[in-house]
Structure 1
Amino acid sequence: MTQGNSSHYQVLRIPVTATDKEIKVAYRKAARLSHPDHGGDPAAFRRVTLAYETLIDAKRRAEYDRSYGSGLRGSYSTAPGDEGAHFDAPAAGSHASANVRRPNTPRNTAADAPVFVPPFEQFAQAGQMPLIPEDVARQQIHGLPRKRGIFGAEARIQREMRTVQLISRQILPAIPAARLINGLQSPADNSHIDHALLAGYRMAIIGSMLLPPGAYAWNGSTLTHGGRSIAPPQLAHVVRRMQDIFPELNVTGWTVVHSTDGNLHQPVIDQHRRTSGGSQDMVQVVNAAGLARGLKQFLNSGPAPNTVNVPVLARLLRGMH
């Protein structure tokens, strides 16, 4: 079925009478099958995402139904052949020359200018209000650490500001489409999410700690120093919840441990991975240098790193405290 011949209902394989619950179930199934991270087709994934974003919103769905019934469904469709947001190909073999591009291998687009999906021109042409203003969507940093509670606010704000500065200097200039959202309310409990970093179809949930220099060990669930256990932020359940909320994304968790002396390579954190799997596959514990390196690799290797997913960004901004 080509895009030009498929309605949003056909893309999700649901009847026009489908309920919101049926739309969500169908979308999760279609997103898993078409997601590029799982070997799916990028164009099909974009169609699935567009169909879901349109049908799950009551107002947009009603407008789509009217336009579709009148033969004007193009007002909510991406033009056939639109290649504005490119998905990355699997990594090439290490023996290939750095100066030789393989035929039909899309280049990495992380450093490209941001592509907004859906484009703001689409809303203007249809005479509709966008989900968020374009000038807001073009900002790379949203919100700042805010005072929460009475005790420990100064230390928390200090470590969160270090994280904001690190990402601002190391990540955002290299990935223009990356968007950093600070101070989110956690959808998993009554706590807060320090930072969320979104680029393309990948999102990192980031917490922070401030610890003295030295050698630390992380085994996937416990952080130790000198035989003493230190409790890191509990992010695994938040990552799972965010993954449920945003099934179109690949969501991971990161805890950055800042050193009191400002050295990006301290503390030294030894990784002791367990063979049984678990939270270490969902949350990484790293120092500042490791966070910068790991986030670049995670976001760069994802599909369409030059894309700003406007509906996801809008939902995140609504969740700021």
Structure 2
Amino acid sequence: MTPPSHYEILGVPTNATERQIKAAYRKAARATHPDRGGDAAHFHEVTLAYEVLSDPQARRLYDRSYGGTGQVSRTASPSDAYSARPDFATPTRGPGDRAAGSMPAAYVPSYDSAEASTTVPLSVARQQIHGVPRKRGIFGAAARLQREARTVALLSQQILTNMPSARLVNGLHAPGEHGYIDHALLAGYRLALIDSMLLPRGIFRWDGRTLYKDGRVVEPPRLAPAVRRMQDLFPELNVQGWIVIHSSDGNLHEPVIDYARGYDPGGYGPVHVVNAARLVRELKQFLSSGPAPNTVHVPSLARLLAGMHR
């Protein structure tokens, strides 16, 4: 059987407008999201279809190749969908090559066009880091500041320096909750929400729901509700969450995190628990393999900045 097209997956005609595609994606994403009882594979199909059809250039490429040997399969990863385009690919580096996301940042809408954004001044949109880790509450404030500062330093050195389009927003109010999202990293049409823990060296075990150390449960931050809520609020973005565990001695490869049998750390999941070294690898892959990784989506950035803790 011929795999369904992206248009069939979203249930829209081939001449669907951007608004129709966005509305269809929002409806399909809610129906297929694993956290709402949907199938993870089907949700992946829906997300891939939206990432292709919502980007004009990627959609034109898909329309030209549809029905031929270049058709994107229903099991393809987002990076596969754009492998034919140099600015969407994630190639291995060679002489003269530039990895996806390393090109100078472009702004959507362009500040030079008639659709120039007035929501965020260009001087603000050019800044890669917004907000700072803030002291919240009384107890444990020093530990929070320390781990949040480590995360900011890690993202600044390992992600922002290699990805000019990435924008890091610190200290967001969690939507609909009494809490905070420590860090939000936006690049193109992908948004990573990041929280952190500071724990001793050792071996931890994560099964996708619970974190263990020596058979005892270690409670990680509750980031999944914020990921789900932010996905609802930003239907144009692909939103995922990470909880990074920093070691007390600053070793990026510690602590060691084992993953339970049957859990795929590289598969879909609203929240991934990782050490610092794995966080860098996964964020680079997640952000650079999305559509238009070299762009700053100004309306999304504006909404994130509006949600910062003051």
**What TM-score range do you get, normalising by the shorter chain?**
0.7 to 0.9
**Who is 2:270 aligned against?**
282
Letter in 1 for 2:221: P
**Who is 2:9 aligned against?**
none
1 CA distance for matches of 2:307 and 2:268? Answer: 26
In the alignment, structure 1 residue 318 sits paired with structure 2 residue 306: yes
Q: Write out per-residue CA displacement over residues 170-224 of structure 1, whole angstroms, 9 at most, x where no aligned residue.
A: 0011111000000000004111000000000111000000000011100111111
In the alignment, structure 1 residue 186 sits paired with structure 2 residue 174: yes
Q: Write out per-residue CA displacement over residues 11-43 of structure 1, whole angstroms, 9 at most, x where no aligned residue.
A: 535xxxxxxxxx984673599979656553620
Q: Which residues of 2 match residues 103-252 of structure 1 at below 5 A?
A: 109-122=100-113, 125=114, 130-252=118-240
SS of structure 1 residue aligned to 2:119: coil
Q: Cα distance, 1:274 vs. partner?
A: 4.0
In the alignment, structure 1 residue 42 sits paired with structure 2 residue 19: no
Pair 1:41–1:187, CA change in 2 (3 A): closer
Q: Write out per-residue CA displacement over residues 260-293 of structure 1, whole angstroms, 9 at most, x where no aligned residue.
A: 011110000001154699x971110000111111
SS of structure 2 residue aligned to 1:154: helix
**TM value normalised by structure 1:** 0.70
Task: Kindly indicate whether the alpha-carbon contact (under 8 Å) linking 2:197 and 2:246 is maintained by their aligned counterparts in 1.
Answer: yes
Letter in 1 for 2:307: G
Q: Cα distance, 1:109 vs. partner?
A: 3.4
**Who is 1:12 aligned against?**
19
1 CA distance for matches of 2:240 and 2:56? Answer: 24
Pair 1:171–1:97, CA change in 2 (3 A): closer
**Who is 1:90 aligned against?**
81
Aligned residues: 255
Task: Kindly indicate whether the alpha-carbon contact (under 8 Å) linking 1:12 and 1:27 is maintained by their aligned counterparts in 2.
Answer: no
Letter in 2 for 1:42: D
Letter in 2 for 1:159: R
2 CA distance for matches of 1:319 and 1:46? Answer: 32
Letter in 2 for 1:214: G
Pair 1:230–1:99, CA change in 2 (3 A): closer
**Who is 2:285 aligned against?**
297
Pair 1:261–1:241, CA change in 2 (3 A): same
Letter in 2 for 1:223: L
SS of structure 2 residue aligned to 1:290: helix
Q: Cα distance, 1:298 vs. partner?
A: 0.8
2 CA distance for matches of 1:113 and 1:183? Answer: 26
Letter in 1 for 2:272: Q
Task: Kindly indicate whether the alpha-carbon contact (under 8 Å) linking 1:35 and 1:42 is maintained by their aligned counterparts in 2.
Answer: no
2 CA distance for matches of 1:89 and 1:301? Answer: 8
Q: Which residues of 2 match residues 62-81 of structure 1 at below 5 A?
A: none
Letter in 2 for 1:136: V
Pair 1:186–1:269, CA change in 2 (3 A): same
Pair 1:273–1:251, CA change in 2 (3 A): farther
Task: Kindly indicate whether the alpha-carbon contact (under 8 Å) linking 1:221 and 1:280 is maintained by their aligned counterparts in 2.
Answer: no
Pair 1:36–1:24, CA change in 2 (3 A): closer
1 CA distance for matches of 2:117 and 2:288? Answer: 31
SS of structure 2 residue aligned to 1:120: coil
2 CA distance for matches of 1:224 and 1:26? Answer: 39
Pair 1:112–1:241, CA change in 2 (3 A): same
Larger Rg: 1
2 CA distance for matches of 1:214 and 1:33? Answer: 39
**Unaligned residue ranges in structure 1 (runs of 5+):** 1-8, 14-22, 48-86, 101-106
Letter in 1 for 2:56: A
Pair 1:129–1:274, CA change in 2 (3 A): closer
1 CA distance for matches of 2:92 and 2:127? Answer: 37
